[in-house]
Amino acid sequence: MKKLIAIIIGSIFLFNFILVPAQSDTSSDFDKAKEEEQKLVLELLNLEVERLKTQKSLEDLAIEIENLTVAIQEKSKEIQMVDKDIEKEKEIIKTWFRFLYMDGTNAILSLLLMSQNSSELLHRLIYIDIVTNYFYNKLENLNKLVNYKREEENRLTSQRSQLIEKQKEQIELLKKIDELKLAKSQMLEEIKKKIANYQKIFAMADNLDKMFPSLDYLLSHLSQFPWDTLEYKDLSFSFFSVSASFTDVDVTKMIRSYSDKLKDVTVSFSRESFEIKDDDSYTLKGNFAIEDNKIKLLINSLNIGDIKIGGQLLQKILYGYDTTINIKIPVEGFKLKKVEAEKGYVKFTLEK
């Protein structure tokens, strides 16, 4: 009964320490994990919405930048056309001035002196002034138009640069959203694993009646099994030492025949270690040592399903159990010196 209580205490520690930090209530931790999972799902949903909005903004910016690029190209074409008009007007003005001054100042002076009267002279002066001012005004207006179109081009170019800068910011924002989304997804995976582990623990709790009584019975009777009935293999003698071995098949048969409660137990030996397994209920693993001329099973892990228990918790579960086995010494006056496990068998050496 004392050992069974130790198992129950161990199961309590199991709920509190396995896979997650110690908490006062495993069920409460499970609820907190579920809340955290829901919170992360909502955060990921919000991030996905933000990502879609940012993606849409980037698409709109790309269209706007493209439209501005087309508009800038059109303005450049318009400026080129006006520049051509200015060049044409300059040629016309040059022609006009060549007409007025083809013979220097004497030509225009002769033109004026050819006037029949003062009224005609005045009209000729006014005509020359009107034509000259017309071409100058036209040239000035064209220059103003070029300047205006260049200002528009500069304004559109500046606006396009601002949009490109905003586009870069949106791309950076999208990158950060993706990074945050990845981090949150990883956190969600960890939470899901944690929840799955809790669910395993709860499933274990449902099977405690099946698992722990069997384990308790095995550990309680481990030192009481009829180890001296095992048939030694490869028994060899020398003046100073004796060596022998027994197989894991023989040990398995001996344990199963001890009680129906242990009918599903299988023992296997491998290099410097042993494994005791009860179907899918539990698995004990460890290695061998010598204590007080007896072989001691040093259990260093307990697996229940996919859950591995070790360290301080395992020591609490094993507390109070005798894991030494008292094999039959074939020759008096010899003591255990060495225990070596190999695949399928354990060899022990005795010396004087």
Q: What is the pLDDT of residues 260-280, one digit of tens each?
A: 889 989 999 998 899 999 876
Q: What is the mean pLDDT of residues 214-237?
A: 86
On whether residue 288 sits in a domain, the answer given is: yes
Query: Using one digit for the tens of pLDDT, what is the confidence trace for 42-61?
Result: 777 777 778 888 888 888 88
Query: Residue 253 pLDDT more than 90?
Result: yes
As given in the structure block, the two tokens for residue 341 are: 């496990």
Q: Please check whether residues 153 and 38 belong to one and the same domain.
A: yes
Query: Residue 323 pLDDT more than 80?
Result: yes
Q: Please check whether residues 177 and 200 belong to one and the same domain.
A: yes
Q: Please check whether residues 143 and 215 belong to one and the same domain.
A: no
Query: Residue 219 pLDDT more than 70?
Result: yes
Q: Please check whether residues 179 and 247 belong to one and the same domain.
A: no
Q: Please check whether residues 193 and 232 belong to one and the same domain.
A: no
Number of domains in the chain: 2
Q: What is the mean pLDDT of residues 147-161?
A: 81
Q: Please check whether residues 267 and 165 belong to one and the same domain.
A: no
Can you tell me whether residue 333 is helix, strand or coil?
A: coil
On whether residue 3 sits in a domain, the answer given is: no
DSSP string of 171-214? Answer: HHHHHHHHHHHHHHHHHHHHHHHHHHHHHHHHHHHHTHHHHHHH
Q: Please check whether residues 172 and 39 belong to one and the same domain.
A: yes
Query: Using one digit for the tens of pLDDT, what is the confidence trace for 76-131?
Result: 888 788 777 777 777 776 676 666 554 444 455 555 556 566 666 566 567 667 76
Q: Please check whether residues 163 and 128 belong to one and the same domain.
A: yes
Q: Of 181, 204, 227, which closes a domain?
A: 204
Amino acid 24: pLDDT: 40
Percent of all residues in the chain with a pLDDT value above 90, rounded to a whole number: 10
Residue position matching structure tokens 């005791």: 276
Q: Of 148, 175, 204, which closes a domain?
A: 204
Q: Please check whether residues 130 and 259 belong to one and the same domain.
A: no
Amino acid 335: pLDDT: 84
Amino acid 299: pLDDT: 92
DSSP string of 214-235? Answer: HHHHHHHHGGGS-GGGSPPEEE
On whether residue 180 sits in a domain, the answer given is: yes
Q: How far apart are CA 320 and CA 323, in angstroms?
A: 9
Query: Residue 17 pLDDT more than 70?
Result: no
Q: Of 176, 204, 232, which closes a domain?
A: 204
Amino acid 73: pLDDT: 84
Q: Please check whether residues 69 and 191 belong to one and the same domain.
A: yes
Q: Which has more pLDDT, 168 or 26?
A: 168
Domain range for 314 is 210-351
Q: Which amino acid is at 10?
A: G
What is the model's pTM? 0.46
Query: Using one digit for the tens of pLDDT, what is the confidence trace for 280-299?
Result: 678 999 999 888 888 899 99
On whether residue 134 sits in a domain, the answer given is: yes
